[in-house]
């Protein structure tokens, strides 16, 4: 009798596990789109900021331009980036390499014309060692549109 009761208990446990597994495998009411979470928008790199700014002035040098920009809007900050309040004027180094296919500099001159609004991603430069001031200007353009 005890043997029969033991076999019956084991059989019920196995059947209970099997039906649970079969139910999970056959349950296709939810679609993959419902179970996937939306991806967050990618953040920008630490020490960078994406801003819209007005060109106040620019000066061409050997392989870059030094521009003074007036911040109009800040779209995003990377971790550890210093604040850029709206209305602030900053000096920025813009590499001539950012203006591809522009051998005569006309595209750069049009984009950097005084009063022109640019969408620009900036990288803040920090001092190489403690106690040193960062190189002047302390902002570099990463992308410019």
Q: How far apart are the first and last CA of the chain?
A: 85
Instruction: Give the per-residue pLDDT at 10.
Output: 78
Dihedral (Cα; 135, 138, 142, 145), 10-degree rounding: -140
Percent of the chain exceeding pLDDT 90 equals 50
Instruction: Give the per-residue pLDDT at 102.
Output: 84
Is residue 127 predicted with pLDDT exceeding 90?
A: no
Is residue 21 predicted with pLDDT exceeding 50?
A: no
Q: Which of 143, 135, 116, 145 is CA-nearest to residue 48?
A: 143
Give me the chain's average pLDDT, please: 82
* Tens digits of residue pLDDT in 27-56: 555 555 556 666 656 789 999 999 999 999
Identify whether the C-beta of residue 58 lies closer than 8 Å to the C-beta of residue 93. no
Is residue 119 predicted with pLDDT exceeding 90?
A: yes
Contacts of 68 (CB under 8 A, 6+ apart): 55, 56, 57, 58, 89, 90, 91, 92
Global confidence as pTM: 0.67
């Amino acid at each position: 009798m005890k043997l029969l009761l033991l076999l019956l208990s084991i059989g019920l446990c196995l059947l209970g596990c099997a039906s649970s597994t079969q139910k999970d495998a056959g349950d296709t009411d939810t679609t993959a789109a419902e179970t996937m979470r939306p991806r967050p928008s990618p953040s920008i790199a630490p020490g960078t900021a994406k801003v819209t700014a007005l060109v106040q002035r620019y000066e061409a040098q050997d392989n870059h331009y030094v521009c003074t920009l007036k911040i109009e809007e800040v779209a995003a900050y990377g971790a550890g980036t210093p604040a850029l309040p709206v209305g602030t004027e900053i000096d920025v180094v813009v590499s001539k390499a950012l203006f591809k296919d522009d051998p005569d500099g006309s595209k750069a001159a049009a984009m950097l014309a005084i009063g022109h609004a640019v969408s620009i991603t900036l990288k803040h430069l920090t001092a190489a060692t403690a106690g040193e001031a960062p190189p002047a200007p302390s902002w570099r353009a990463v992308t410019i549109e």
